[in-house]
Structure 1
Amino acid sequence: MDLDNEGRTVVIVAYDPEIAKYANRVILVKDGIIQYN
């Protein structure tokens, strides 16, 4: 199943940077402030 092609959004909150390699987009938040988008 390809959720991206179906127009769906999945949000994953993880503390392991290795998880980011599976994402199309990564937003880094530190102390409630977006550090990287």
Structure 2
Amino acid sequence: MNQLKNKVAVITGVSRLDGIGAAICKELAESGYDIFFTY
């Protein structure tokens, strides 16, 4: 991924902790993104 400052991601459909939406949130957060998600 590009090396950007102040990276923000918006993820929709995070309804289960073991679902793909939650996995995407976790990976992006570990990569330094600020996360905004909905369920």
Q: TM-score, normalised by structure 1?
A: 0.33
Higher helix share: 2
Q: TM-score, normalised by structure 2?
A: 0.32
Higher relative contact order at CA 8 Å, sep ≥6: structure 1 or structure 2? 2
